[in-house]
Structure 1
Amino acid sequence: MFSSAATNWGPDDGFYGTRVMAVDLDLGVIETVSTQSAGATFRGETPVVSADGRYVAFLTTHSLYGSGWQVVRKDRHTGEVKVASSDAAWVPANNFVQDDGLAISADGRYVVFVASSSNLGVATGGKDQVIVKDMLSGQVALASVKSDGSPSDGYCNIVPRMVSANGRYVAINCDGTLAPGVIGRQTWVRDLQTNTTELVSRVGANGPASTAFTYGLAMSPSGRFVTFRNACYGGLGQAGGSCEGNSGVYLRDRQTKTTYPVPRPAVIPTSYANYCQASSVSDIGTIVMACAYKSDGVNQRSQVFVYVPSPNDLGQGTHQIISVRGADGQPGNNDSGYSLAVNANGLSMVFESKASDLDPDDTNGRSDIFILADESMFTDVIFADGFEQP
C-alpha cells in the first residue's frame, strides 16, 4: 500500500494527482484505493492498512469528506469510504488535521490521527492532539492525555507505526508536560484500556527522562517494544560506553522497563555515529532503520539496515545492510529508507528507495518500493511489469 503520482497505472481515468494504490503480490492485481463508491478517483496520501489488507486509512483534501485535510477509511471489500477524522456522529473535523501522520490497528477498527479540532467531542486546547477513532462504534478518545485527564499543553504527533495491533496502546510524541516534572519532547505510550500514560523515553523503570528531544517513533505490533530517535547526550545510555557507539536509535522494552541504545552499524564510521533515524520494530525486537552512510567514501546516502538483537541482551546484536544491489551486495546508489517497515516476526521488510541499481529492471528514475520477504528472501520492486516506462 502506497501513494503515487504516476499516471500510467492503468487506463487514463482523468485524475492526475496523488492517489493511494494497492498491489497484491500473490495475485498480481493492481488497484486504485482512493476511489469513491461510484468509481471516481480522488487525492489520497500517507496510507496505512489493516493486517488483512481490507481497510485502508489515508489523508485526503477531497471536499466530499470535509474541509481541508481529513482522514478517511476505505473498505476494499464493500467500497465504503467513511470519515475517520470525525465526531461520534461522523461529522468531519472543523479544524486542522495534521497532514503527515496516522495509524491503524491490525483489524482496521481503530484509526489514530492528530488534530486540533474543537468539534470532535474531546478537548484539544487548540493544540495538535493524538486522537483515536473507533470506526465500529463511532466513539472518539484522546490519547495525548495528562495524568489529570486534561489534554497535552504542547503539540503532539504520530507516524504510521505507533499503534499496537489490537489498538490498545498508542505511542506518541508530545512537547507538552504529560506527567509532573517531565519536560521537553518526550515519548509516551497511552493505554486506552486502563486509561494510563507511560513515559517511555527514560532510564529504567523510574529513572530520569531524556534531556534531548525524541522523535521518529515506532511500536511493535504487540506493544512491548518502542523505538525512537534520541541524541546521545540525552542521558539514555551509550552503546559500548561511548557516544561513538550509538546509532541514534533507542529501543525501549516495556516489559522489562529497560531502555537500550542500539549500536551503530560497524560499517558506518564513528564520524557518522548517531545518524540513524527512521525505524520500525518487530515483536522480537528486530529493528529496521535508515542510517547515513558514505558507502563510496564520497557521497553520503541513507541506507537501510536491519538490527537483530541477542536474545539475552537486546543492546547487543548484529547489523546487515539490506538496501543493496542483488548482483554484488553493494549499497544502492541513492537514498533509501524514507519510509520502511518490518512485520511482527521480523522476517519480512519493506522500504522505499531512490536508488536505480537495486534491481536491473528499475529504469523509471523515481522512488520505488522494495520488499525483502521471508519465503524466499528476495528483494523485488513492486513498480515493475510495464510501469518502469520513462
Structure 2
Amino acid sequence: MRRNAKSSTTRRVRVALSTAVAVCAATAVLPTAASARPVGHRTTGVERISVAPDGTQGDAHSAGASIMPDGHRIVFSSSATNLTPEGTTGDDRAYVRDQRTGQTRRIGPYSPLDPPVISGNGEYVAYPVQWVNNVRIRQYQVSTGYTASANCSSHSCDQPSSSADGSSLAFVVLFRQPSSGQRIEVHDGDGTKKTVADFAHTHESRPSLSGDGRYVAYQDGGAGDVFVWDRVGGTTTGPVEGPSTAAALVQLSDDGSKVVYVSGSDTYVHDVPSGTVHLVPNARGVAIDPTGHHLLYAPLGTSGAGLKLRDLRTGTDQIVSNQPATAGTDAVSAGGRDVVFQSTADDLVPGDTNGKSDVFVRRFP
C-alpha cells in the first residue's frame, strides 16, 4: 500500500491510473534533467537527491518523499527553482527521481497540497491539489504524461491509497452537507466501488490498501480505534489494539499481514493472521517496508538518532539519520535497503549550505 504522511490537508498519496488513463488528456512530455550518475550505479550511505542537474544543491526547501519497493524511483515535492532545466516560479512542484540514471523530472503543473506518492510499479504519481472549492487528486502516468482526477463527484477527495498495480484505489470522500462527515471507499478500474466505513466526523481516517487490493486498514479518528476490512469476506476486524486502548494507524504492509499503529509512546506491529503483536517501546512508528519485516521509527525520550530502521525478525537497528529528520509512509523500499527522508541538518552530506530542508536517501548494503 502507498499512502501519504500527515499534513493539514490530506495524507501522503500513492495513486495509480487504471482504465481511466485511456480517456485522459495528455500533458506535455515531462522534461528530463541530465546527470553524470552511471546507469545502474548504487552506493551505500546517504545521498541528497533534491539537487540540480549538475549536482548542486536545491535553492529552496524540499520535502515529502515516497520510494518504489525496488528503490528505482523516488518522488518528492520542492519549491526549488533549479531542479530541472526549465525551472519553476518557486511554488511547490512534484518531482520524480530515477535512481538508476540520476534523472529528475517535474510531474504536472499544479502545486501539491501534500507531497506526491508513487505506485508500486513506479509508473504512476499522484498528489492532492486545490480545485476551486474542493480538493482533487491528480494522477500522472510517468511514461506518457497522461493525467486524470480521482472520481469523487462534487465532493473533496482525501487520503488516498492504491493497490500495487493501481487497479484499486481507496480514499476518503469528505462531505459538508447536510452535516460534516466522511466515507471511505474503494474504487476499481472497472468502475465498481465499495463502501468500507462511514463516519459522522472529519478526523483523519488514513485508509491504507494492501498491494492486492483485498485489505483496507483505517482508523476511526474520533474514537481512536484501528480496523482492518477484508473486501473478499466483507468483514471488519477490530479495534486491533483492543477495546480500551486509543491508537492511531501508521500503515498496512503490502501483503496485508501487518498493521502498524501507535498508542501512547509506543509502536505496535499487529500480525493480522495470528493476532499477535510486536511491541517497539518508546518509539513513534513512521513506516513499514513492503515485506512487513522492517520498521522505520523515531526514538522517543533519547538524544540519539533522528530515525532508525528496525529488522523486526532480529530486533536489530540501523541508523538512518543521526540528526533530526522526518519521513512519511512509503519511505522504505522492500527489504529495508533504501530509506528516503527529509532534514534541515547541514552535515549529512558535504557542501550542504542552503539552510533548507532537503530530501535524502540512505542506502544500506
Query: 1:19, 1:32 within 8 Å by CA — same for their partners in 2?
Result: yes
Residue in structure 1 matching 2:157, options 81, 91, 97? 97
Cross-structure match for 1:271: none
Cross-structure match for 2:121: 52
State how 1:1-390 maps to structure 2 within 5 Å: 1-12=75-86, 15-34=89-108, 41-44=109-112, 45-63=114-132, 67-86=133-152, 93-98=153-158, 101-117=159-175, 126-134=180-188, 136-144=189-197, 151-155=198-202, 157-159=204-206, 162-175=208-221, 184-202=223-241, 208-209=242-243, 211-231=244-264, 248-263=266-281, 274-292=282-300, 294-295=302-303, 303-310=306-313, 317-323=315-321, 331-332=322-323, 335-339=324-328, 341-374=331-364, 377=365
Using structure 2 for the length normalisation, give the TM-score: 0.71
* Percent identity for Structure 1 against Structure 2: 26
Letter in 1 for 2:297: M
Query: 1:97, 1:116 within 8 Å by CA — same for their partners in 2?
Result: yes
- State the distance in 2 between where 1:7 and 1:293 align: 38
Change (3 A) 1:57 1:139: farther
Query: 2:180, 2:200 within 8 Å by CA — same for their partners in 1?
Result: no
- State the distance in 2 between where 1:318 and 1:11 align: 43
Query: 1:293, 1:303 within 8 Å by CA — same for their partners in 2?
Result: no
Q: How far 1:70 sits from its partner (Å)? A: 0.7
- State the distance in 1 between where 2:221 and 2:97 align: 37
Query: 1:190, 1:198 within 8 Å by CA — same for their partners in 2?
Result: yes
- State the distance in 2 between where 1:362 and 1:109 align: 41
- State the distance in 1 between where 2:206 and 2:348 align: 27
Gaps of at least 5 residues in structure 2 are: 1-74
Change (3 A) 1:200 1:360: farther
Gaps of at least 5 residues in structure 1 are: 35-40, 87-92, 145-150, 177-183, 203-207, 232-246, 264-273, 297-301, 312-316, 324-330, 378-390
Q: CA RMSD in A?
A: 2.7
Query: 1:169, 1:191 within 8 Å by CA — same for their partners in 2?
Result: yes
- State the distance in 2 between where 1:139 and 1:254 align: 26
- State the distance in 1 between where 2:313 and 2:88 align: 52
Query: 1:157, 1:172 within 8 Å by CA — same for their partners in 2?
Result: no
- State the distance in 2 between where 1:352 and 1:248 align: 23
1:345 alignment partner, SS class: helix
Query: 1:59, 1:71 within 8 Å by CA — same for their partners in 2?
Result: yes
Letter in 1 for 2:254: P
1:165 alignment partner, SS class: coil
Letter in 1 for 2:240: S
Q: How far 1:222 sits from its partner (Å)? A: 0.7
Query: 2:80, 2:88 within 8 Å by CA — same for their partners in 1?
Result: no
Q: How far 1:293 sits from its partner (Å)? A: 5.3
Query: 1:69, 1:97 within 8 Å by CA — same for their partners in 2?
Result: yes
Q: How far 1:363 sits from its partner (Å)? A: 2.5
- Moved beyond 6 Å, runs of 4+: none
Letter in 1 for 2:335: N
Q: How far 1:8 sits from its partner (Å)? A: 1.5
- State the distance in 1 between where 2:79 and 2:193 align: 32
Change (3 A) 1:258 1:27: same
- State the distance in 2 between where 1:361 and 1:82 align: 39
Query: 1:129, 1:152 within 8 Å by CA — same for their partners in 2?
Result: yes
1:239-293 CA distances to partner (integer Å, 9 max, x unpaired)?
Answer: xxxxxxxx61111001211123214xxxxxxxxxx35243324424321112345
Q: How far 1:364 sits from its partner (Å)? A: 2.2
Query: 1:154, 1:174 within 8 Å by CA — same for their partners in 2?
Result: no
1:67-124 CA distances to partner (integer Å, 9 max, x unpaired)?
Answer: 42111211122222111143xxxxxx323434xx3322211222322222489xxxx9
Change (3 A) 1:345 1:200: farther
Using structure 1 for the length normalisation, give the TM-score: 0.66
Letter in 1 for 2:274: T
- State the distance in 2 between where 1:319 and 1:276 align: 14
- State the distance in 1 between where 2:91 and 2:168 align: 28
Query: 1:85, 1:113 within 8 Å by CA — same for their partners in 2?
Result: no
Query: 1:15, 1:42 within 8 Å by CA — same for their partners in 2?
Result: no
Q: How far 1:349 sits from its partner (Å)? A: 2.2
